[in-house]
Chains A and B, each alone.
Chain A
Amino acid sequence: MRLITYQALLANQQNIDQVKRGRGAVERVGGRVEMAPPTKLGIILVILHLPEGISPEQFFPGLPFYPM
């Protein structure tokens, strides 16, 4: 299974919580979520690995993930 990697830089706490909540669902389709610790200003880098053919929108609608 080929994984496609996406990134997003998140500052909004609601969006960060959305990613935390969706982590299990991503893992159930064979994907992976990695979250860096917050920067000094509270911004978090999220790296999302999803099987080819699955879009970040399916798990995190509206969040600004883009392919690396």
Chain B
Amino acid sequence: MRWFGWLRKRPKAGADLLEVLALQEGTPVALIGGRMRTVGLPYALPRDTEDLNRLDFQHFLLRYALKGLYAPPLHNPQSILDVGTGTGRWALDMAQVFPHAKVVGLDVNPPPVDEAAGRGYDIRPANYTFVPGNLLEGLPFADKSFDFVHMRLLFTAIPANRWVTVMREVARILKPGGWVESVETTGIHNGGPHTDLIMTWVTQLAAGRGVDRMNATRVNTFMQEAGLRNIGASVVNIPASSWGGRIGEMGALDYLTACKGYGGVVVNAGLATQQQFDETLEGARTDLGSPHIHGYAPFYVVIGQK
């Protein structure tokens, strides 16, 4: 109960500390806006079973829509890093695809598979490792450590003024000839008025934390500034409403579940009332289920080589 003990000693420290009253033992997670969220990061989405399930679902959606796990021309990589590994699903898949490579996942919270291992149920592949760390304070690896570094959907996690710094760190830990891949999105476009309003709230929320979600479109520039070469970029528009068939319905479900996760913090930030948010989310659900709304999410896939 270390966290609780720390908090009990400071009961009058202010509203900021009240937010962390529900800190779980030994993890940087607190009850904020009605959901458990990681504290101390710009990233605002929840860290709970519902959102972990969404992230796993999103992984399989992206693996299908992007036609695989990676874009660069990899040749027998020996060391692979997943920055901001989240549920660890991508890293675990890569550990299977490249059984002779050492695959490392980095994040501030361990993926569920590592938490399960801590409880005695260890199904992790032998070539997979989790390393705790905050990518915003540098990557805890030696120079020239990895053949491939993967970064996905960090657009709400990396403040605008840190993108180049993060990319320079990636360049530092890449081996000569190694590749980095970034997959980012700017969210749902053409999703109807309710979806647009939620995107506006999320943009405002992110801006308050120094995050510009449009940086997803500038990753190639960040790679250039970090000294990487052979930079290639492509955009894959993934349907995110029912007009897109099964994949569109999956994209909409991912988006709506993520939006639901933002609800409490959007309300806490004073951007909407709970009723406004709930009604808008319901409106977005209706819009994205309409055959007349052609919603999609552009995914920016950028690769670069050291």
Contact = CB atoms under 8 A, between A and B. Distances in A.
Interface string B158-198: 01001000000000000000000000000000000000000
Interface residues of A, number: 26
Interface in A12-49: 12, 15, 34, 36-37, 39-43, 45-47, 49
B6 A37 contact: yes
A9 B6 contact: no
B2 A66 contact: no
Nearest to B41: A9
A40 to B, nearest CB: 4
B208 A67 contact: yes
A37 B6 CA distance: 7
B140 A11 contact: yes
Could you tell me the dominant secondary structure of chain B's interface residues?
loop
Contacts of A12: 133-134, 137-138, 140
A10 B2 CA distance: 17
Contact of A8 (B40, B133, B138, B209): B40
A45 B209 contact: no
Contacts of B42: 66
Interface residues of B, number: 34
B137 A47 contact: no
A2 B262 CA distance: 28
Contacts of A39: 26-28
A66 B108 CA distance: 16
B13 interface: yes
A11 B108 contact: yes
B132 interface: yes
B16 A68 contact: yes
Contacts of A15: 137
A46 to B, nearest CB: 7
B110 interface: yes
Given A5-B14, A37-B6, A64-B162, A43 B132 contact: yes
Contact of B39 (A7, A37, A64): A7
A39 B138 CA distance: 19
Contact of A34 (B10, B132, B140): B10
B13 A34 contact: yes
A15 B40 CA distance: 14
A7 B23 CA distance: 15
A2 B199 CA distance: 31
B136 interface: yes
A1 B19 CA distance: 22
Contacts of B132: 11, 41-43
Contacts of B26: 39-40
Given A43-B28, A43-B132, 20 more contacts: A5-B14, A7-B41, A9-B39, A9-B134, A11-B134, A11-B140, A12-B134, A12-B140, A36-B23, A37-B2, A43-B133, A43-B134, A45-B39, A49-B14, A62-B137, A64-B136, A64-B137, A64-B162, A66-B42, A67-B208
Interface of B: 2-3, 5-6, 10, 13-14, 16-17, 19-20, 23, 26-28, 38-42, 108, 110, 132-134, 136-138, 140, 159, 162, 208-210
Question: Which 10 interchain pairs have the tightest Cβ spacing?
Answer: A9-B40, A64-B136, A40-B26, A41-B132, A7-B40, A5-B16, A45-B40, A11-B133, A37-B2, A66-B42
